[in-house]
Structure 1
Amino acid sequence: MNAEDAPGKTPPRRVRVTAPRSQASRAPSGYPVAREVAEQSEVGQVFVRSLIRSQLRLAVVVAVGFLLILLAFPLLLAWVPGIDRAALLGVPFTWLLLGVGVYPLIGLSAWLYVRTASRNEARYLDLVEDE
């Protein structure tokens, strides 16, 4: 005997579901990454370590590149004969090369580092703020 056949009981009303309501709020999809980071869970620590590794990698690449270009100056002096005796307006060319030529190199390295570090942080924030 079914529940529908029982005397005095009305069968349950059928409900047809077609689509979710558009004004209804959606249930949160999972656990937000920002909360993982704030609670210092394993997932949050992975994201933070990833950011730290990318920033460290960037710092090492910029520093090594800067040092390689800086070390190219003495090699240039050793390989080009007579450059150590050249002068421009009475100032030795080697002094001009090291005194004036290094500062644009420092500025370029700093600009590249800041630009790329900001991009790394923006990617991290986009990742953390995605839900």
Structure 2
Amino acid sequence: MSTSPGRPPAEGRVRVSAPRAQAAHIPHRTSVSDEVAQQSDVGELMVRSLIRSQLRLALVVASGFIASLLLCWALVRWIPTVSDANVLGIPVPWLILGVGVYPVIGTCAWLYVKAATKNENQYRDLVDEK
């Protein structure tokens, strides 16, 4: 029990105090979202990790797209039956390189969006600590 110096406690009343200086220090736990918002070292590391994963994904999808275009070009260039064939009076190389490329573009775009959304959801789950 602690009382004010020089003054006795009032009858029936007791003052109890616990100074915080003597209390054990409990470290404050910051969340990942706080770290990102405050742009601390941990937050910057998390954001850089997301950017790296998105860049890696973009490079993989772009490489796959370029490889598929090169494969189409090689098919037209080095296989004579393909380069000499016609469908409804239209040369097959025109069909492959002019029309057949669009499904490849659409597929690459769809795969990229799906994987990028997955990366962002994983990042959001990590930041929100789910």
Q: TM-score, normalised by structure 2?
A: 0.76
Percent sequence identity over aligned pairs:
55
What is the CA distance between 1:98 and its match in structure 2?
0.9
CA distance in structure 2 between the aligned counterparts of 1:88 and 1:78, rounded to whole angstroms? 17
Are 2:112 and 1:113 equivalent residues in the alignment?
A: yes
What is the CA distance between 1:73 and its match in structure 2?
1.4
CA distance in structure 2 between the aligned counterparts of 1:49 and 1:104, rounded to whole angstroms? 33
CA distance in structure 1 between the aligned counterparts of 2:37 and 2:121, rounded to whole angstroms? 18
Tell me what 1:65 maps to.
64
Show the 5 A alignment for 1:1-131.
Answer: 30-130=29-129
The answer for unaligned runs of 5 or more in structure 1 is 1-26
Higher relative helix content: 2
CA distance in structure 2 between the aligned counterparts of 1:97 and 1:77, rounded to whole angstroms? 8
What is the CA distance between 1:79 and its match in structure 2?
2.8
Which secondary structure state, in structure 2, belongs to the residue aligned with residue 84 of structure 1? Answer: helix
* 8 Å Cα contact 2:83/2:93 also seen in 1: yes
Which secondary structure state, in structure 1, belongs to the residue aligned with residue 46 of structure 2? Answer: helix
How many residue pairs were aligned? Answer: 105
CA distance in structure 1 between the aligned counterparts of 2:65 and 2:88, rounded to whole angstroms? 28
The answer for unaligned runs of 5 or more in structure 2 is 1-25
CA distance in structure 1 between the aligned counterparts of 2:76 and 2:105, rounded to whole angstroms? 20
Q: TM-score, normalised by structure 1?
A: 0.75
Tell me what 2:20 maps to.
none
Task: Give the residue type in structure 2 aligned to 1:50.
Answer: S
- Give RMSD over aligned pairs: 1.8
